[in-house]
Amino acid sequence: MNVYPEKAVKNHVTTVTPTSASTWTFHREAHFWGRITLFSLILMSLVPPLYLSFVLDAHPGWGAIITGLVGYAGFVGILWVLEPITYYPTLGVAGTYLAFLTGNIANMCLPCSSAAQKAVNAETGSRKAEIAGVFGIAVASMTNITVIIAIIFGGTYILSVIPPAVESAFTFIAPAIFGAVLGQFAYKNPLYGGIAIVVGMLVLFSPIISFIKIAVTVGIVIAIIISMEKAKEKKATTS
C-alpha cells in the first residue's frame, strides 16, 4: 500500500506525458518535413518545362497546355482528392507524405505498409501501426529506387529478353495486389470481407463512371461497416 498517494499520481503523470508529447512531436515533424519535401518536388518538377518553354523557346502555347490539363484532370482529377482520403487510414500522417512523394501507392506503398503492420501485429489506425507502416514504405521506396536505377541502365535489354507470356502477365499485377490486401484484412473479419466483395462486384457491373467506382465502393463499404458496428454497440449497451 502506498502511503504517499500524491507521489504515486505524480509518477504516473510523468510516465504518461512523454508518450503523448513524443507522439505530437512525431506528427508535427511529419507535417513539417512532408510539406517541405512535397513542395520542393513540385518546384523541381516545374523546372524542366519552364526551362524548355522560356529558355529554349519551345513553349507549346497556353491553349495546348490548358487543353491537356483539363483533359487529364477530367479523367483522374477526382483521385487527387479521393486517394489521400482513401489511403490515409492505412498510411497514417507520415506514411501519406512518404507514399505520395515516392509514388506507386496502390501497387507498392499500401501493400508494404499493410504487411509491416501485420508483421508486428499492430492494430489498424494505432500509433504502432503508423510507425510500422512508415518503415514498410521507406524500405519499399529504397528497393524501388534501387530497381529503377538498375532498369534505367539495363531496362532496354531486360525488356528485349522477357518472353511475351511473362510481359502480358504484368496487367494482372495491380488486381493481384488489391486481392492480397483484401485477403489479408478479410481474414481477420470474413463478414466484412464478404461485404466488400459483394459491394465491389455490384459497383463494378453498374453503369457508374469508371474512374469513381473505387471511391464509391470504398464509401459504401465504410458506411455499411460503421452502421453494423454502431448496431452492435447499441445492442451491447441495451442488453
Q: Find out whether 86 and 215 touch, Cβ atoms under 8 Å.
A: yes
Alpha carbon of 123 to those of 7, 68, 114, 133, 150: distances in Å?
34, 43, 10, 11, 36
| pTM over cut 0.85 | no
- Nearest residue to 199 (alpha-carbon basis) of 184, 223, 178, 221: 221
Q: Picking from 61-65, 175-179, 199-203, which range would have the lowest pLDDT averaged per residue?
A: 175-179
Q: What is the mean pLDDT of residues 201-214?
A: 84
Three cell numbers, residue 53: 518553354
Amino acid 129 reads: A
Calculate what percentage of the chain has a pLDDT beyond 70: 88
pLDDT in tens, 20-47: 555 568 888 889 998 999 999 999 999 9
